[in-house]
Amino acid sequence: METYIAALDQGTTSSRAILFDRAGRIVSRAQHPFRQIYPQPGWVEHDPMEIWATGKRALAEAVDSAHIDPRSVAAIGITNQRETTILWDRRTGEPVYNAIVWQCRRTAALCGQLKADGAGGLVTDRTGLLIDAYFSGTKLRWLLDNVPGVRRRAEAGELCAGTVDTWLTWQLTGGRAHVTDCSNASRTMLFNIHTLQWDEDLCRLLDIPMCLLPDIVLSCGERGRVAEGIPGLEALAGVPICGSAGDQPAALFGQACFRPGQAKNTYGTGCFTLMNVGGTPVRSKSGLVTSVAWDVGGTPTYALEGSVFNAGSAIQWLRDELKLIDSAPECDRLAESVPDAGGVVLVPAFTGLGAPYWDMYARGTIVGITRGTTRAHIARATLDSIAFQVTDLVRTMNGDADCPITTLRVDGGASVSDILMQTQADLLRLPVDRPAMVETTAFGAAALAGLSAGVWSGMEELEGLRRSQHVFRPEREESACAGDYRRWRRAVERSAAWAEE
């Protein structure tokens, strides 16, 4: 009987499930969006029950539409939006509040106070991170301080906390497994990346009871089985959940970046550039962060990472808020209709700027508009803004790492855009390698689960499954790219200055 691996890919705007066969091919998929909740400017929330409902529905539909015997699903892998934080009742499984999303900036003031108190050195030494509202620790602190009765219940051991992988595993196992892996734990500001354990000093710093936190398990290994009686998932009862990783390290794994110096960028809601730096963490000198990419067989692999908060979300902004386009492909068509952005530069700092700037208060900026500016120029400037931000990350990464990036492997929804990928290659002066199968995040989760379940024998077999679809090489003159980049950096300065005014 053919064997399959199911990947539950829980993202920022939708929940997806993809079924892979042993050759790494997609057999079936299903996807369901969920609401984005914006209670105040800079605040972003999700309903945890919607996350679970859409994930469960996608998983059931992917298996059903494949017309296979559900018993042939050897394992399930989970990958998830990182940093997004959920707090729920240990007995009932009911969340006490909405999930606070990684994009949310509500704890910027708390982060500022922690920095002023001199906590930055401790946080970076232990976690590899910088103090920022992006990470989970201050989000959890906000829940404890602002939801009535929650701190008392937390200290009494009545509540569980976790990132989205923990929440989904809890639900799938019927509350039997309260776990996370190192790739997710290392994005909380509470996890020591050297000892691979929750850090008592950091929990004390943020006044977070350690009894809330999940157990740490390997990225590749069984952490429970699908419980009986879950509506819609009855046919999958007993299937082991054998692997999990945050979405970005999962994509690094799915891109077969198994050796130090190999790197990928995911073009999703945000952009995330990760470089495999091997078994020893590398501390950035330039505003990047270090985290655990995965822990396979008890041996951690570390990554140097730069994060862009708004990338694909800028295209969504054109569609949903400005109504300039009806779909993401229309953005490409418009951008291709003009030779360049006509001097327009967009900085999509809707929720601040991530690496290497780490400016929580910067806001979006458009400069260079003239009477001749059209929606095509704005579409082109939007795609350019994504490529500029990734250029920032790769240039910074090359300055930090011993071995510079020579090829950038790419994936994510916006990587299907030929014009964006060509612009990226032109700016970086590097080949940009897009795989034939761009669902590398989901495949990374499936690969971790499949390794544990014995579907694949090891890294070499997984590496052999990756195939390139197209390699984009620099075409535009380097001088033109340099001029574009200088304009971008000046626009970034204006975005930062806006908040100060």
Q: φ and ψ at 370, to 5 degrees?
A: -125, 180
Give the Cβ contact number of residue 303 at 10 Å: 29
Q: Tell me what pLDDT residue 250 has.
A: 95
Q: Tell me what pLDDT residue 412 has.
A: 85
- Alpha carbon distance 383, 387 (integer Å): 7
Q: Tell me what pLDDT residue 234 has.
A: 94
Tokens at 181, concatenated: 């892996």
Q: Tell me what pLDDT residue 389 has.
A: 94
- Alpha carbon distance 33, 16 (integer Å): 9
Residues 6+ apart with CB under 8 A from 178: 90, 160, 162, 166, 169, 170, 214, 215
Return the SS3 of 433. strand
Residues 6+ apart with CB under 8 A from 461: none
Q: Tell me what pLDDT residue 94 has.
A: 95
pTM score of the predicted model = 0.87
- Alpha carbon distance 457, 138 (integer Å): 40
Cα-based distances in Å from 132 to 113, 302, 335: 11, 20, 34
Count, residues in the chain: 501
Q: Tell me what pLDDT residue 270 has.
A: 85
Q: Tell me what pLDDT residue 359 has.
A: 85
Per-residue pLDDT of the chain (501 residues; tens, 9 = 90+): 689 999 999 999 899 999 999 999 999 999 999 999 999 988 999 999 999 999 999 999 999 999 998 899 999 999 999 999 999 999 999 999 999 999 899 999 999 999 999 999 999 999 999 999 989 999 999 999 999 999 999 999 999 999 999 999 999 999 999 999 999 999 999 999 999 999 999 999 999 999 999 999 999 999 999 999 999 999 999 999 999 999 999 999 999 999 888 999 999 888 989 999 999 898 888 888 899 999 998 889 999 999 898 999 999 999 999 999 999 899 999 999 999 999 999 999 988 888 888 887 888 999 999 999 999 999 999 999 999 999 999 999 888 877 788 889 998 888 999 999 999 999 999 999 999 888 899 999 999 999 999 999 998 899 889 888 899 999 888 888 888 889 888 888 887 766 555
User: CA angle, 76 as apex, 70 and 79 as ends, to 5°?
Assistant: 145
Q: Tell me what pLDDT residue 168 has.
A: 97
Closest-CA residue to 499 (of 105, 120, 138): 105
Closest-CA residue to 387 (of 348, 351, 358, 361): 348
End-to-end CA distance of the chain: give it in Å, rounded.
66
Q: φ and ψ at 387, to 5 degrees?
A: -65, -35
Q: Tell me what pLDDT residue 1 has.
A: 61
Q: Tell me what pLDDT residue 57 has.
A: 96
What sections of 147-246 are H helices per DSSP?
Answer: 150-155, 164-172, 182-185, 200-205
Q: Tell me what pLDDT residue 371 has.
A: 95
Q: Tell me what pLDDT residue 351 has.
A: 82
- Alpha carbon distance 341, 117 (integer Å): 44
**What pLDDT, in 10s, does the model give residues 211-262?**
999 999 999 999 999 999 999 999 999 999 999 999 999 999 999 999 888 9
The answer for 456, left when phi > 0, alpha when psi is -120 to 50, beta otherwise, is beta
Q: Tell me what pLDDT residue 174 has.
A: 95
